[in-house]
Structure 1
């Protein structure tokens, strides 16, 4: 399969590239400074602060799917980069006729309303007592702007007409790949407090070839 991997040198992105190459996929890796990537990977330099539409079109051209680990380096400083970058990716895919995209988001996004859109439920249906009354409140206090931007990102996908799937993990860790995790359709995983970046990448690569998850949000956690 031909995969274009966005933010290929980021926390999730580098695992996406390594695992996709190991599985025999043909990979185009897109990053601001694509370096230290496996041999045989086609690389494209794109700065998602100011995404170049010509470069993005070239990056997604001919892809079977786009897999995006795009997110801010500092969630409290780089506001808006995920939604702006995702809009640019969606535009490039539409121009090149590429339909399938899998994007990483975050578990606390569920309750965040998008300006001008319907108000989402107060609590994600998968959240237990702790997450509803403590965990989500702490997350919003620390990274509220980032989660609001992810909510906008998800709305961009819903409006795109593409065959999108969103992976929503909770707290990310740097633990090793296990390939073992729980998932939940259109809700967070009950009692799921963390997951490794390597396992998020594994989950996202599985989603690419799961048509039942098209235009769905999938919670994932250990």
Structure 2
């Protein structure tokens, strides 16, 4: 299958690239800095471009079967600005499946279910700018009509691969405190062949 992967030079994205290539998928990366791509493979296509440029996204979307986005906020509004462009390009190309990596801050709060975690007392973060941008991206997906899933890790150290973690639809697993980058990437990739969490956020933690 043909996969468009966004955020491929980031911590989670680079691991997802390896999963996709290991299973012999055809992988296209849209990146601003091609020299930062660490993977090489005959099935790998690298496009130099920007997710904030509709023409670049449209060009990269040609012939894709699904999209994985591991874009992060970088203190900007890249997520919320790029999401409508990604959604439009997917619809134009007839691509329905998108899996993104979000944050536990946009899961529902257990103590105040009407709020998201970053809006409630559950959040330990004083700054909410990143969570707010993830929230806006989530709102775009929620109304897109696409088959979307948002993987929402809590504290995300690099860590090691364990293959042992807990997940929960729309909430962070109770007492979940952290999850490694490799385990987050594995679960994200597994959603390609899974329809259990279509139209949902998924909390992931140990």
CA-atom RMSD in angstroms? 2.0
TM-score (structure 2 length as normaliser)? 0.89
Residues 1:47 and 2:50 are matched in the alignment: yes
Corresponding position of 2:63: 62
Q: What is the CA distance between 1:123 and its match in structure 2?
A: 5.8
**Are 1:15 and 2:15 an aligned pair?**
yes
CA distance in 2, matches of 1:166, 1:99: 14
Q: 1:12 is paired with a residue of what secondary structure?
A: helix
TM-score, length basis structure 1: 0.83
Closer/same/farther in 2, CA of residues 187 and 111 from structure 1, 3 Å limit: closer
Deviation at 1:47, TM superposition (A): 2.2
**Distance apart, 1:23 and its partner CA:** 2.1
Aligned residues: 199
Decide whether aligned partners of structure 1 residues 101 and 195 sit closer, same or farther in structure 2, where only a CA change above 3 A counts: same
- Secondary structure of 1:217's aligned partner: strand
Q: How far has the Cα of 1:167 moved from its partner?
A: 0.6
Once the two structures are superposed, what CA deviation does each residue of 1:20-60 show, in whole Å capped at 9, x if it has no partner? 11122211112111233322210112223xx2222211212
Query: Residue 63 of structure 1: CA displacement?
Result: 1.5
Cα distance in structure 2, aligned partners of 1:30 and 1:120: 37
Other-structure match for 1:103: 100
Structure 2, gaps ≥5 residues long: none
Q: 1:38 aligns with which of 4, 19, 40?
A: 40
Asked if residue 121 in structure 1 is aligned to residue 123 in structure 2, the reply is: no
CA contact (8 A) 1:105 1:167 kept: yes
* Aligned-pair CA distance for 1:104: 0.7
Q: Report Cα offsets for 1:166-205 as digits up to 9, x if no partner.
A: 1111011111222221111121111111111111111111
SS of alignment partner, residue 40 of structure 2? coil
Q: Does the aligned pair in 1 maintain the 2:107–2:152 contact within 8 Å?
A: no
Contact 1:56 1:92 in 2 (8 A): yes
Counterpart of 2:167 (choices 183, 186, 198) is 183
Q: Which of 147, 166, 184 is the equivalent residue of 1:163?
A: 147
CA 1:150–1:120: 2 relative to 1, 3 Å:
farther
Kindly state the Cα deviation for residue 101 of structure 1 after the two structures are TM-superposed.
0.1
